[in-house]
Chains A and B, each alone.
Chain A
Amino acid sequence: MNFETPDFLPVVPELFVLGMACLILVVDLFLSDRSRVVTYLMSQATLVGALVVTLGLSSPIAQVTMNGTFVLDPMATLLKSVVYIASFVAFLYAKDYLRARSLFKGEFFLLGLFAVLGMMVLISAHSMLTVYLGLELMSLSLYAMVALQRNSATASEAAMKYFILGAMASAMLLYGMSMLYGATGTLDLGELGARVQGAGPSSLVLVFGLVFLIVGIAFKLGAVPFHMWVPDVYHGAPTAVTLFVSSAPKLAAFAMLMRLLVDGLPGLHGHWQDMLILLAVLSVALGNVLAIAQANIKRLLAYSGISHVGFLLMGVLAGTPEGYAAGMYYAIAYVIMTLGGFGMVILMSRAGFEADRLEDYKGLNERSPWFALMMLILMFSMAGVPPFLGFWAKLAVLEAVVSIDLIWVAVVAVVFSVIGAFYYLRVVKYMYFDKPEDEHSLVAGSDLRFLLSANGLAVLGLGIFPGSLLALCASAIG
């Protein structure tokens, strides 16, 4: 049997994160609860190291290795880098929150690192096998993180719902993959694309498999009608976990969408475009309308996340390089905004007080004008008010949809985002025009305050100078 040793160089970031995670696992065993901060620092150092390695390995041409199961291309480099940064920010926001609730354990950071590894595998997948394995590695870690707060009934319920629905979505995805494999006889996504092109777009079995693939992807993204888990999980999980679940995994899910549909099934673009239009329009409509009825800010952000996923899908469904770049730009912008949004919830909370009701934000301007301003920036950006980041992201995806003459989709999106502006503005009204109900001063540490300020200012800064990030996404798509 002939066997050529694969090129391990492109896989070094994955190997580095795995090696460090195993090292931290062993080191954590010998730490007392007082020196647990070492685990945290090592996890953060791992993310920084992975970022350095990934950027060092970046190259403009795609390299496929590991017998065609792994690809390193500019898209993978960019998405992985954002995943590291988002996880770094999420871990930092989480630290004080976890400590105040005696959840500051090595498992949180370890499972987080393994989830990051899963996302990296998924982002670099070049075979249906690695797509599935990366997805499972990420999801299993996330299920466990949601359940980490064992004495909370809502967290256990959220974890159970997430786990069962997630397992069903994985089963759907696998069934779809088995159909595609049966019809084409290959797992390699590049090969699959070529064979699908040869089979012609009318092959019924391919479309049948595609439907199941899209169900699996839509579940992971949290698009309507596969969104039921999102509000319950975001609400039930500890805010620190919600922050993590809502940020970096969305990038991985976006990568899964790109790998499976754009790399694997470009020949079926006409079919998946119709399905994505349905998902996008439903998500934007339902997410924005249901968010109005929410009294809990974590549920509100969950429904707003669903509507953002709708916008993200609009970029991808266009099927043009500009559309893919716009979708990626939207995904990154959403991650920056959601990190800030849940970061604010963590900033406001303290031991025994979750700050997850909308009323808790009343009169924030009197208590802390600076963070009220940060929240204002985040809310305006999510609503899509110029000149903040969210506006340019929305503009980019709408341009992509209009360029393929789907003007009605763009009109629907604009109408519902105007409706959606109501609930963002209500938070702003609470902060600036109502009397505070809660007179406690904010207890967050200086690192959290600093990073949250930087996060808010990044939304403003990337909004005033929108060109660089968009250009980065465009060059990553190539």
Chain B
Amino acid sequence: MAFEQIVFYAFSAVLVFSAGVVITVRNPVHAALFLVLCFFSTAGLWLLLRAEFLAIALVLVYVGAVMVLFLFVVMMLDINIAVVRQGFARYLAVGGVVAILLIAVMAMVVGGDYFGLERTPVPEPIGEVSNTRLLGLQLYTDYVYPFEIASVILLVAIIAAIALTLRRRPDSRYQEPGRQVEVRRGDRVRLVSMKSEERR
């Protein structure tokens, strides 16, 4: 038990620390990298809870895909951090009061009183089960309706992304592989009969 607790506190400390750094560090690339660290420590916590599928999905999807894309965008856009930070001091007072109030209320509620072991006891161990298998069974049986709606949301995202970004510009240059393949020798090469020059 003690070892599990040590692991838990280690991951949690890293998580809280890196989450704090994400919003305080000046360089957006560093912030994105600390967010990656955040996701890793969360994945570690989930592994500790024996939710191995979620842990691996988090690393694969968020770290592997989303954050890499994010880093690309951050590096390409060259965001001027000074402009983003303008007005920080002006909003600090109001924002700080709201944040402190929120944290105070959360501290009252999220804790042992309402979510402790007396109210939600540890479930009985039911032997070896595969997370992935159970999740798959649940998703395609009991939760098939929400699952399908989620897929429709992704379809809408695709339509929206294409509708908002695809535009044919007359001055853009692009390749048409179909026409490239169709090309015959006669279209590109012209044989010219020339008299060979005399050797001097």
Measured CB to CB, the residues of A under 8 A from B are: 1, 3, 6, 11, 18, 22, 25, 66-67, 69-70, 105, 107, 110-111, 114, 117, 121, 127, 129-130, 133-134, 136-137, 140-141, 143-144, 147-148, 150, 179, 182-183, 185, 203-205, 208
Contact = CB atoms under 8 A, between A and B. Distances in A.
A78 to B, nearest CB: 22
Contacts of A117: 152
Contacts of A130: 145-146, 149
B155 to A, nearest CB: 8
Contact of A111 (B105, B108, B137, B160): B160
A182 B156 contact: no
B163 interface: yes
Interface residues of B, number: 27
Interface in B88-127: 105-106, 108-110, 114-115, 120
B159 A134 contact: no
12 contacts: A1-B137, A11-B145, A114-B155, A121-B149, A129-B143, A130-B145, A137-B153, A140-B160, A143-B160, A144-B156, A185-B120, A205-B109
Query: Which residue, of B137, B157, B159, has the highest number of chain A Cβ atoms within 10 A?
Result: B159
B29 to A, nearest CB: 22
Which 5 pairs between the two chains have the least Cβ-Cβ distance? A144-B160, A107-B163, A66-B145, A205-B114, A133-B149
Contacts of A111: 156, 159-160, 163
A368 B30 CA distance: 63
Given A111-B163, A148-B163, A205-B109, A133 B141 contact: no
Nearest to A127: B146
Contacts of A25: 159
A113 B23 CA distance: 39
B79 interface: no
Given A114-B152, A183-B114, A185-B120, A67 B160 contact: no
B144 A66 contact: yes
A185 B156 CA distance: 31
B23 to A, nearest CB: 15
B167 interface: yes
B142 interface: yes
B164 interface: yes
Contacts of B114: 182-183, 203-205
Contact of B149 (A22, A134, A185): A134
A141 B146 contact: no
Query: Which residue, of A25, A144, A185, has the highest number of chain B Cβ atoms within 10 A?
Result: A144
Given A144-B163, A144-B164, A185-B120, A137 B156 contact: yes
A204 B108 CA distance: 9
Given A105-B163, A150-B164, A140 B143 contact: no
Interface in B8-57: none
Given A134-B149, A208-B109, A3 B141 contact: yes
A177 B157 CA distance: 24
Contacts of A69: 143, 145-146
B135 to A, nearest CB: 13
Contacts of B143: 67, 69, 129
Nearest to A107: B163
Given A6-B144, A107-B160, A133-B150, 16 more contacts: A1-B137, A11-B145, A67-B142, A105-B163, A107-B163, A110-B159, A111-B160, A117-B152, A130-B146, A137-B149, A144-B163, A144-B164, A179-B109, A182-B115, A185-B120, A208-B106
Contacts of A22: 155
